[in-house]
Structure 1
């Protein structure tokens, strides 16, 4: 199947970012392992840490929808379990389970996951969005963080 021809125009723009190619491949690969019996929408997330580690996660649905885990949750869990650190690059892909791996387009993290990412972001984190690379501040302006908590 053709990859870029079947992707929406915005997603094709994101595909043009060569530095994200390994992360896109990793996110698409892990999305194949997603557990999606209800939505049938597989999501894969991949991040690159400051020390060069690749971390990944996929969505895991549950019959009690509120306890469904987004792919970013699994990725952050792998980040912490692997020794912690901060993310420098991030990408998330998704699509119906009938799509082939290469057809899964770049998607935006939900608001909850943007907040989760901001907690573990290096100052120079770049998120690949359907429109192209964006800073964390552009993806989640005025994020709530540890500095906003009372001592």
Structure 2
């Protein structure tokens, strides 16, 4: 199954009773495993979870910590970029050149890299005190 198809399928499981805005994400690791996530809302905003964060959590829970490629899809007029928090989460587990495809249900796609999504990302190197 393609990352697009996987993201489209998991998107249908999104729990979005408040916004009605379903998002699906599919991540592929370097070994070819695919992990999925969908957004999950909560009446106590902002306690929901983004699709990207859910997919990353599933990946980490399986013992993997590197994203080789990601695909995010929403029912929008134009491809929708991840929120700021998810950009940082993607940067934590993907190299700066990792390809992230943002897509709509109508087939529009925009391919960006992690570095393009989050220029000047805060990283572990910033934690060095030497």
Aligned counterpart in structure 2 of residue 133 of structure 1, from 111, 120, 126: 111
Q: 1-side partners of 2:47 and 2:93: how far apart?
A: 22
Aligned length: 124
User: Is residue 29–residue 66 contact of structure 2 (8 Å, CA) maintained in 1?
Assistant: yes
Name the Cα RMSD after superposition: 2.0
Q: 2-side partners of 1:112 and 1:45: how far apart?
A: 15
Q: Residues 72-92 of structure 1, C-alpha deviation per residue, up to 9 Å, x if partnerless?
A: 111011110111231111111
Please name the residue that 2:123 is paired with. 145
Unaligned regions of 5+ residues in structure 1, if any?
1-20, 97-103
Q: SS at the partner of 2:2?
A: helix
Please name the residue that 1:113 is paired with. 86
User: Is residue 88–residue 126 contact of structure 1 (8 Å, CA) maintained in 2?
Assistant: yes
Aligned counterpart in structure 2 of residue 73 of structure 1, from 53, 56, 69: 53
Moved over 4 A (4+): none
Q: Residues 21-79 of structure 1, C-alpha deviation per residue, up to 9 Å, x if partnerless?
A: 81111001001001000000011001111111101100000000111110111101111
Q: SS at the partner of 2:101?
A: strand
**How far has the Cα of 1:146 moved from its partner?**
1.1
TM-score by length of 1: 0.75
Q: SS at the partner of 1:108?
A: coil
Q: SS at the partner of 2:35?
A: strand
**How far has the Cα of 1:129 moved from its partner?**
3.2
User: Is residue 47–residue 56 contact of structure 1 (8 Å, CA) maintained in 2?
Assistant: yes
TM-score by length of 2: 0.86
User: Is residue 97–residue 115 contact of structure 2 (8 Å, CA) maintained in 1?
Assistant: no
1:39 aligns with 2:19: yes
